[in-house]
Amino acid sequence: NAGVMQNPRHLVRRRGQEARLRCSPVKGHSHVYWYRQLPEEGLKFMVYLQKENIIDESGMPKERFSAEFPKEGPSILRIQQVVRGDSAAYFCASSPGQGYGATEAFFGQGTRLTVV
């Protein structure tokens, strides 16, 4: 009974490098959400994806950040040219398809990104 799997759990990048965060949703879930949590703060919505489609990216910074959820394989959150302010915990969540608005989202353990 695998839940949402995120890897890596911890990621250290130097300024200017790229960070790639992976998320495998619960089996059978077709909706994926990414959130960012700064230390001692709440979760900020970043992006909502369905298979091969970005549904809502209103919380995603316009530059350097991108996300995808391909037909096969995990969802990827990519941060290019990282800066110290990108250091945070990034959480992925998944839920079943549309029509299940009443269903809770299931969260992964998060990837803690540290930019040095």
Partner 1 sequence: AQSVAQPEDQVNVAEGNPLTVKCTYSVSGNPYLFWYVQYPNRGLQFLLKYITGDNLVKGSYGFEAEFNKSQTSFHLKKPSALVSDSALYFCAVRVVYSSASKIIFGSGTRLSIRP
Contacts to partner 1 by CB under 8 A: 4, 33, 35, 41-43, 45, 48, 50, 55-56, 91, 93, 98, 101-102, 104-110, 112
Instruction: State the nearest-atom distance from the C-beta of 65 to partner 1, in Å.
Output: 17
Q: Name the residue nearer to partner 1 (CB basis): 53 or 81.
A: 53
* Spatial CA neighbour of 44 closest among 85, 74, 13: 85
Q: Is 116 exposed, middle or buried (0-12, 13-18, 19+ CB in 10 A)?
A: exposed
**Closest distance to partner 1 from the beta carbon of 11 (Å):** 14
For partner 1, the closer of residues 4 and 88 by Cβ is 4
Question: Could you tell me the sign of the dihedral formed by the alpha carbons of 71, 72, 76, 81, in that order?
Answer: negative
Say which amino acid occupies 76: I
